[in-house]
Chains A and B, each alone.
Chain A
Amino acid sequence: MSRMSAGRTVISQHIPSNRVINQFPKPFRADCTPHKEIDFHPKVKNACSENRIGRVGLRICKAVLVGDVSVGKTALVNRFCHEVFEKDYKATIGVDFEVEKFSVLACPFTLQIWDTAGQERFKCIAASYYRGANVVIVVFDLSDESSITNLVRWMDDACENADQPIKFIVGSKKDLVSQAAYSQVESRVKMIANNLGAEYWAVSSKTGENVQEFFFRAVSLTFDAAVLSEVDTALAPRATQIGTIKVEQKDLYESRKRKISLQKCCNH
């Protein structure tokens, strides 16, 4: 923290301690991930320590959660963002939206989480929510066979509109299945995940098992990719940079006002 410039520190102060990532998190299953790296890329580490990560801290990092009705997408988000778990099921209308701020290698990084509705009724509008996503998370219910069958379709639909996303397949409700049943499902889903080029996770939003680990992993992989592409194209400004509108800062009224020194109430 001490090496950071004044400007950077100001932003980092607002990051709560449970959103700080300094170690590169491991995958859930080493044999079921397309991302074989075991640490942040050296260029990324360098850039962070020298504080030249450019606009990554200001960049959009967008994650969408998709999957069948009632597999537990919202429960997963609520466990991570609010540390709560509600037993009662309430269907999501359209999309829920959360913003989480992180500090990765002492650099600020923001994740938008778009938690979509699984209902067929909202299928037609889904495409606009997937647009430009950097992370696609397909959630399925470890205890529900049919939600596994639909995994591929969800991933294809979402990736069609996303921006070469980092892909995850997340089995939920791990607390509800026996060890034996779990092993069976896992071997099946691992194949699907590997075929899709996605990383596999199994979590329980009820107990919290693996929930933070999973989000940290997702954030770290996204951060690594974002900074790397930023460093590689440092000289060529990217089109995704936020547009700014310049307005002349000099304010004639202000400077004149000083001359006139407008009397304020009750200053006599």
Chain B
Amino acid sequence: MEESEGFKRNSNVDSPKSPTVLPWDRFSNWLHCACVVTFDLELGQAMELIYPSHVHLTEKEKMNICYLSFPDSNSGCMGDTQFHFRIRQCPGWRQMVRSQLQFSRDYPVQLQSDSAYYYGFVYFRQTKDRSIRRGYFQKSVLLVSKLPFISLFSQLVSIIAPEYFENGEPSLEAACHDIDQWPPPIPGESLSLPIFGEVIQVRIPTRSDKLVGQPVSKVEDQATVPAQHIVPSLFEVDIFSAFQTVLPHVQMLWELVLACEPLVVMAALPTVASTTVQALISLISPLQYCTDYRPYFTIHDSEFKEYTTKTQAPPPVILGVTNPFFAKTLQHWPHIVRIGEMLGDAEASKSFNKIKKSSALKTLDSKPGVYTRYKPFLVKDKSILKRLIKGIQSKRPVEAQNAIMRRYFLELTHSFMIPLERYMASLMPLQRNISPHKGPPRLRPFDPEEFLKSVEHSGPQLTSGIKGDWEGLYRRFFRSQNFEGWYQHRQYEVNQKLEVLHMEALCQANLMDWIQDKEEVEIVDLIMRIQDKLNFAANNQHSISEESIQKLECHLRSVVSSLPADLQSVLKI
């Protein structure tokens, strides 16, 4: 039944013909704008076109977009190159997209994007053209969005850009109009997204999804509309190919990402840099990476100075770079990942390399590898490496290698997080301590030492075969922003839940009985507590039933009416 309602909503109520939907409303559920950036001989990179034209970008944002839309170094990006970047939004113009507000809480954490950032999906074309003075045609088409739907938007720009290079502006106009007909990205729905005579079919994941394997089967079952393009995932990147040249070190990289260590990825091409950074972020899924990351970062970026300064310790961010200049600028960074070209199957297993001391990194040394002095806390699990290498030798499809790798790190992250989740649950007050006549109970504070004691008997060893200093890794993690982000999120969720439980307790309670022998001041106190709850309910409509709200309002009226008339008028209810 759900599907039919969804379909109805898409085809009628929320259709582009509906008078309540304005032009570009639906477009802005997905994208902020589409841009064309060109190389002008006098000006350098220049914004040629922004569509829709009413969209606001500050001068600083435009400048960042222009520089990030072109390869940063004189690398041989002939032909077509695709990559993505992430930039800060200028303060003051941060408006949440409608779809984000509505759906964000139901997305998996990786999609709960920070509204302070834009993502840019670039398609750059460079071809010889004698008719141009410089001898080259150099232009980028890019899509700007607040949503980190990496694989969907990468695919989308690869459909739109070639059409634009072929046919010019009307194709961009038509593409944006197509997107303006897309249904909103409601978590859990399988959507059919028309673009240039084709349909992209994608399922929007939800928090309640099983973590591996579900999305694909869902697409098959529902069969809403037959599609030419099925995007198997909205945001997952090809992590296996990204890490192929540093495969033996991926488990260490997992630790570094988990602990929010400053990390720079150096690659020859922006495609490789951006995919690798995205792959790093996704290693700790379903945990959210809570500090900044830049899949593609250039010397022109407005945060260049802030991030490369030598007067302070390197910031806890992950950067993807291609300009050789960074080898010098970021020499003092503790962890550097050099990624070679993405290799064919045969070469890959030969090219594995030892970890290099970071001091060994010279400007000219560009061999792939991880340059760090970091000593991993956990013992390297050789079985996964063996499995992946076997896969390379037997020419196992990349999708399967990806699935194996993704599941492996998902389990590793879970093994690490389950004890924390369990400890967190133990901090909850007991149900019987929730009283309608007191304030809502609070969560006990997180005590790292108490937690670490529990790890001895019920730590990650229950779910993971990996040996090593788990305790040390936890201590490191507690100092990271990832822990802080996770803890705040959990705290928020639990407190919300406690509020709801407390409210239910208040609904159930027989308040008229209770106020019989109470002083006026206590009754007024109760009234204020009920009003607080109603305010909370108004701000969190999704988690509270209409019935509870009505019950509370009814309580409020009867309690108030029990008071003397003069007091009632003071309370002004």
Tell me if B332 counts as interface (CB < 8 A to partner A).
Answer: no
Tell me if A152 counts as interface (CB < 8 A to partner B).
Answer: no
Across the interface, name the chain B residue whose C-beta is closest to A15. B4
Instruction: Point out which of B7, B12, B163, B178 has the most chain A C-beta atoms below 10 A from its C-beta.
Output: B178
Tell me if A239 counts as interface (CB < 8 A to partner B).
Answer: no
Interface membership of chain A positions 114-155, coded 1 if the CB is closer than 8 angstroms to chain B and 0 otherwise: 100100011011001111110000000000000000000000
Task: Tell me which residues across on chain A come within 8 A of B175, comparing CB atoms.
Answer: 94
B477 to chain A: closest CB distance in Å?
19
Residues A128 and B163 in contact, CB atoms below 8 Å apart: yes
Taken together as a complex, chains A and B put the C-alpha atoms of A125 and B198 apart, in Å, by 13
Residues A125 and B171 in contact, CB atoms below 8 Å apart: yes
**A-side interface residues toward B, CB under 8 Å?**
11, 13-14, 57-62, 64, 78, 81-82, 84, 93-99, 101, 110, 112, 114, 117, 121-122, 124-125, 128-133, 242-254, 256, 260, 262-266, 268
Residues A58 and B226 in contact, CB atoms below 8 Å apart: yes
Tell me if B197 counts as interface (CB < 8 A to partner A).
Answer: yes
Residues B197 and A14 in contact, CB atoms below 8 Å apart: no
Give the contacts of B485-534 with A (CB-CB under 8 A): 494, 497, 501
Residues A124 and B501 in contact, CB atoms below 8 Å apart: no
Residues A265 and B494 in contact, CB atoms below 8 Å apart: yes
A101 to chain B: closest CB distance in Å?
7
Instruction: Point out which of B11, B17, B173, B213 has the most chain A C-beta atoms below 10 A from its C-beta.
Output: B17
Given contacts A93-B177, A247-B212, A264-B425, contact A78 B170 (CB under 8 A): no
Total number of residue pairs linking A and B with CB closer than 8 Å: 144
Q: Tell me the count of chain B residues lying within 8 A, CB to CB, of chain A.
A: 61
Residues B216 and A245 in contact, CB atoms below 8 Å apart: yes
**B-side interface residues toward A, CB under 8 Å?**
1, 3-4, 7, 11-12, 15-17, 163, 166-168, 170-171, 173-175, 177-178, 181, 192, 194, 196-199, 210-213, 216-217, 220, 223-228, 230, 232, 399, 403, 407, 410-411, 414, 418, 421-422, 425-426, 428, 430-431, 462-463, 494, 497, 501
Residues A99 and B225 in contact, CB atoms below 8 Å apart: yes
Given contacts A94-B174, A242-B230, contact A128 B196 (CB under 8 A): yes
Task: Tell me which residues across on chain B come within 8 A of A124, comparing CB atoms.
Answer: 166-168, 170-171
Task: Tell me which residues across on chain A come within 8 A of B216, comparing CB atoms.
Answer: 244-247
Instruction: Give 18 A-B pairs besides A95-B197, A249-B217 with Cβ atoms closer than 8 angstroms.
Output: A60-B228, A93-B177, A95-B174, A96-B181, A99-B224, A124-B168, A125-B170, A128-B196, A129-B196, A131-B197, A243-B230, A248-B403, A252-B407, A253-B212, A253-B411, A253-B414, A264-B425, A268-B431
Task: Tell me which residues across on chain B come within 8 A of A132, comparing CB atoms.
Answer: 197, 228
Taken together as a complex, chains A and B put the C-alpha atoms of A128 and B228 apart, in Å, by 13
Residues A94 and B178 in contact, CB atoms below 8 Å apart: yes
